[in-house]
Structure 1
C-alpha cells in the first residue's frame, strides 16, 4: 500500500506522520506533502525533528514538497491532518478519480508550528497511526 500524509506546509505534522508510520510499518510505501508551497525542499521544522527524535523517529532525511493532482494517481490512500487540508486536497482531485482521502485522526491534528505543542501533536499522530494500521489490515481505508 502507498500512503501520502498531507498538512499545510509539510514541515511538522505530515512528515511526523510519515516518520511514525515508517517506524511502525517499514514495508509500506510512504510519503508526505503540504497543500502550500512555502517550504519546498526544506527539512522538517527543527523543534518537530527534536520532539520526534526523542521518540525514536528520525525525520532528518525528509524534505518538503507540495501536494498535487498526480498524488491521486500515485497513492492508494491520502491522509489529511485536518479538515481544511482535506478540503484543499479534494479541490485538486482529478475528475473521475476515486482515491480515498481520510483524516489522520477523529479530531484535527493541531499545527504545532503555531501551537508550539510538538509533543501533543505527536501523541495524536502516534495514536492515529496505530489505528490507521489496524484499518489497513481490516481494509477500512476510507
Structure 2
C-alpha cells in the first residue's frame, strides 16, 4: 500500500511522531519535519513527538541525537520528552510510528488505522537491513545516530512533498 496522508479533520494539520522514550528518534523527526515544513512555507502544520513509554518524560533530547542535529544545522534544544497516551490520538490527523512495535502499540491505544503509518512509509529507500523501521540508535555508537538522521531527512522530504500537494486547492483540502 502506498502511503497517503489522511485528510485534515479541522483547521490546520497535526502530526505526531512516536518512538519508545521520545529522546532519540521521534524528537529528531519532530525537529527535521518542523524545519522542512517551515522551509516549504506550509502554514498551519504542527508536528509533535512522543514516546510510548514514560520513563524519560520531561527530559531533553539524548545528547547523541542532539549532537547529530547540531552537526547538520538543526536545533533540538527545546525538546522535552512526552508520553503518548490513550487520549492523545484524537488530537492528531496523522500519527507516525518509528517502528513496527510502536505501530502495534499505537493501534492498541486507539489510533485509527487510516491515521496511523510507519514513518518510513514515505522513504524512497524503504528496504534494506531495517525494512520499514527507523532503527533505535540508543545502544550503539555515534554513526547510528547519523544514519538515523539521514534516514529521517530523506523520509521527511517525502512527507513534505505530500503535505505540499495536500495544500494545493485542487486537492480539496486546506491545511490553513
Question: TM-score, structure 1 length as denominator?
Answer: 0.90
Any gaps of 5 or more consecutive residues in structure 2?
1-12, 121-125, 127-131, 167-176
Looking at structure 1, the residues matched to 94 and 133 of structure 2 have their Cα atoms a distance apart, in angstroms, of 18
RMSD of Structure 2 on Structure 1 (CA) = 1.5
Looking at structure 2, the residues matched to 131 and 88 of structure 1 have their Cα atoms a distance apart, in angstroms, of 24
Q: Which portions of structure 1, spanning 4 or more consecutive aligned residues, are displaced by more than 6 angstroms?
A: none
CA offsets, 1:43-80, max 9 Å, x none?
Answer: 01001101111111111101001001222111110001
> Which structure: larger Rg?
2
**Is 2:61 the counterpart of 1:44?**
yes
Aligned residues: 137
Q: Which residue in the other structure is 1:15 paired with?
A: 27
8 Å Cα contact 2:21-2:53 kept in structure 1: yes
Q: Which residue in the other structure is 2:173 paired with?
A: none
Looking at structure 2, the residues matched to 131 and 86 of structure 1 have their Cα atoms a distance apart, in angstroms, of 19
Q: Which residue in the other structure is 1:131 paired with?
A: 158
**Is 2:125 the counterpart of 1:108?**
no
**Cα gap change, 1:76 to 1:100, in 2 (>3 Å):** same
Deviation at 1:138, TM superposition (A): 3.6
Deviation at 1:134, TM superposition (A): 1.7
8 Å Cα contact 1:9-1:34 kept in structure 2: yes
Given candidates 13, 20, 36, the residue that maps to 1:24 is 36
Deviation at 1:99, TM superposition (A): 5.6
CA offsets, 1:98-128, max 9 Å, x none?
Answer: 6601111132001111233100000110001
Any gaps of 5 or more consecutive residues in structure 1?
none
8 Å Cα contact 2:18-2:95 kept in structure 1: yes
